[in-house]
Structures are given as structure tokens and as C-alpha cells.
Amino acid sequence: MGKCPLLLGFAGSLFLISARAGEPLPDGLYAEVTTPRGVVVAELHYKQVPMTVANYVGLAEGALGPKKGTPFFDGLTFHRVVADFVVQGGDSTGTGDGDAGYLFPDEITPALSHDRVGVVQMANDGPDTNGSQWCFMLREVHRLDYLHSVFGHVVRGLEMLPKIQQGDTMKVKILRVGTEAGAFRVTGESFAGMTGAAKRYDGPREPGPDAPFDDPDKILPTDWDRAKAFNFKLANFERFTSRKLRARVLAKTPASGMDGYLLETATRLGVEKDGVLAVYCADSDRWHLKVGEKSQPFLADEAAFMTEAGKRTEAAVEYAMRHLPERQQALAANQRIKLSVDSVIDGLITKLEPQVR
């Protein structure tokens, strides 16, 4: 696979990060991850997502996990490495199926996004299934927003990430700099209090007529349950922002007419006045939006929005084409539709979510 354009764009900053490696870290909470390829230091966002950071710190220091007093991560491997995408570890079995003996809820905030190389996030198997597995992201991947909890980002050793290989071991040390970070301590009792107070997922588990997302004609790719992931994403978006976004992917334009379909569906889904309904029709290769009155200030120029979404889709298609094993083969139509759904949903989320980044 070729190099990610975003990684190339970071070339200048990588040098600066390495050049400052000997300077003291600013006040904050950090994870120093030692690998055979070098040391990576990530800042942990303990103020924005305290529960998720508490899980990571507790496991790293042995306050949580199956063997109290024994650091959980030390000696584990990075069991999954996908070039230009992700480096994943934290599984005691090394198979991708292991955890630390417990799961805990998602903790997602608009302030933290998969917006750069070096983001640190939790791996999961759906809503509220966080455990011990975590990832370094190797590029910007906004499609994972509202699906995975972001809890840190790399501040030193960014250039080491693409060098990590599957099977490489890790050792994690928590660094506390300053009074506030020094006070961030984890116990089994404090973590239990956080998880007990967390807001749990109560949205639909499957796409459908009354769910946030539906693909009734099954036109999205079948290599992975894309529709279920989109459904979780939209439900989580409402869960963590109280903003409503609904989407449908149809094979054909409704015989009753688009205006009638949009009004009926938006009303049934509760977004006719506050929220947005986005509908894609494959026969016309066109998106249609129904924007509630209260949401119109967020999306004042629909035509400009759709033009930008189209550009993002084409950029995603071009990237996918460059990274396919058979580079000369055309991208399947349903995969193009999936990329278009990504572009439109992520664009709408950016417009609708509280602007706190």
C-alpha cells in the first residue's frame, strides 16, 4: 500500500516533534509507550473523557484488570497493524478477541475527533463494548467519529507509528506532569463510580424503518455490516449531542415523489422541525435533504453543502483506488455509495454538532 497523503503532509512537523523530544512536557497526563521501534508519548485527555482515560491508566498501572498490582499492557503485542490506517493492541490473547475481564460504556465528545495522525482511541465491537484494546490512528479517519471513543493524541514519537509491526511488544508508563494531572488517580471504586454514572446506549441495535439509519434495499457493501455501523453512529450522535440526524439509502426514487417521502419520513422519525433527514437514491445518484426549521441555521446553503460533499466523495474514491491491491480495477458501485454516505453523514455531523473543537 502507498503512503497516506496526510502522513506526507506531516513530514515537516515530524522533524519538529523529534527535535523537541528532550524538552520538558507541558502540564498534563501522558502515556509513554515503549516499542521495539522507539518511544511514543501520547497526551491523555483526562478532563474531557475521564472514564476512558481512567480505564487506560488503571490498566497501565495495575489498579484495574485481572491481576491487581500488575501492569496489564506490559509485554502485550500490537496484534493488528493496517498500513495507513491503524496500529492496535491491548489484547492479552493477541487474537483480537481478548479483554481485561470487563467492558465499559462509550464516552464521546464533539471536542475530540479522529482528525489527525496519532489519535488514540478505543477499539470496540459496538456501543458500550470498550475493554482493554486501543489504537494509534495512522491517518485522519472521520468516519470513526461517534463510533469509537477518542482519549488521547501523540505528542512525541509520531514518526515511530508507521514503523510498528504486527507482533511488536509494548510497555506503557503513565507520566503525570503538574498538580492537576498528579491528582488523577484510579481505583477500582472510582472507576466503578464513573461507569455506573455513564449514559448507556439505548438506541436501536439494527437499522430499520424507525431507526436512525436504514438501507431497506441492501445496496451497501456486504463485506461488513455497514448499515448497522451507520445506525450506531447516528444513534450515538444524538446520544452525545442531543442533535438528530437520520439517513436512508434507497435503490429507487419513491414512486410517491421525493417531497412526499421526505415529509412523511421526517415526521415519522421526529426530525420534521428539529433535525435533518438525508436520503440517497441510487437510480438518480442523488442526495435529498429535509432540514427541520430549527436546524436550518446550521445548514443555510444546501447546494454548497452537497457540492462539498461530492468533492469529499471523489477524494475518498481516488484514495481508495490508489490503495486497492488491483489499482486499475474500478471501485464497485456499492462501495462508492458507501463512501458517499460517509461524506454526507460526516459533513452533516460537522454542521450540526456543537462547535467546541
Catalogue all structural domains in the chain, each as residue range(s) with its CATH number.
5-197 (2.40.100.10), 213-352 (3.10.310.50)
Range scoring the smallest mean pLDDT among 190-194, 195-199, 244-248, 317-321: 317-321
| Average pLDDT of the segment spanning 270-290 | 97
C-beta separation of 46 from 53 below 8 A = yes
* Integer Cα distance of 212 and 244 in angstroms: 9
Q: Is the pTM of this model over 0.85?
A: yes
- Number of CB atoms found within 10 A of residue 329's CB: 9
* Integer Cα distance of 268 and 41 in angstroms: 48
Region of residue 38 (phi > 0: left; psi between -120 and 50: alpha; otherwise: beta): left
- Report pLDDT for 321: 84
Q: Which residue has the cell 464516552?
A: 107
- Report pLDDT for 224: 84
| Average pLDDT of the segment spanning 270-292 | 97
| Average pLDDT of the segment spanning 297-319 | 94
Model confidence at 323, pLDDT cuts 50, 70, 90, reads confident
Mean pLDDT of the chain: 92
| Average pLDDT of the segment spanning 112-135 | 98
For 303, the grid coordinates are 447546494
Q: What share of the chain is helix, strand, coil (3-state, %, to 5)?
A: 35, 20, 45
- Report pLDDT for 222: 82
* Integer Cα distance of 224 and 127 in angstroms: 16
- Report pLDDT for 65: 97
- Report pLDDT for 188: 98
C-beta separation of 44 from 30 below 8 A = yes
Model confidence at 23, pLDDT cuts 50, 70, 90, reads confident
- pLDDT above 70 coverage of the chain, percent: 92
Q: Is the pLDDT of residue 11 over 70?
A: no
- Report pLDDT for 114: 98
- Number of CB atoms found within 10 A of residue 326's CB: 7
Strand runs labelled E in 123-268: 134-137, 150-156, 171-177, 213-214, 245-250
Range scoring the smallest mean pLDDT among 20-24, 45-49, 191-195: 20-24
- Report pLDDT for 9: 31
Q: Is the pLDDT of residue 13 over 90?
A: no
Q: Is the pLDDT of residue 324 over 60?
A: yes
Q: Which of 112, 113, 154, 156 is closest to 136 using CA atoms? A: 154
DSSP 8-class letter at 111: T
- Report pLDDT for 327: 46
Q: Is the pLDDT of residue 20 over 60?
A: no
Residue 278's DSSP bridge partners are 247, 289
Range scoring the smallest mean pLDDT among 8-12, 109-113, 131-135: 8-12
Q: Is the pLDDT of residue 220 over 50?
A: yes
Model confidence at 3, pLDDT cuts 50, 70, 90, reads very low
| Average pLDDT of the segment spanning 189-216 | 97
* Integer Cα distance of 272 and 17 in angstroms: 48
Q: Which of 243, 70, 268, 234 is closest to 146 using CA atoms? A: 234
Adjacency order of strands within the sheet including 28-35: 80-82, 86-89, 134-137, 119-122, 150-156, 38-44, 28-35, 171-177
138-152 pLDDT, tens per residue? 999 999 999 999 999
List Cβ<8 Å contacts ≥24 apart for 64-72. Answer: 64/100, 64/186, 64/188, 64/191, 65/100, 65/101, 65/132, 66/92, 66/100, 66/101, 68/188, 71/172, 72/100, 72/132
Q: Which of 133, 336, 191 is closest to 249 using CA atoms? A: 336
- Number of CB atoms found within 10 A of residue 123's CB: 21
Range scoring the smallest mean pLDDT among 169-173, 220-224, 335-339: 220-224
Q: Strand, coil or helix: what is 235?
A: helix
- Report pLDDT for 12: 30
Pick the more confident residue, 260 or 23: 260
- Report pLDDT for 205: 96
Q: Which of 276, 321, 269 is closest to 295 using CA atoms? A: 276
DSSP 274-297: SSEEEEEETTTTEEEEEE-GGGGG
Strand runs labelled E in 68-133: 80-82, 86-89, 119-122
- Report pLDDT for 89: 98
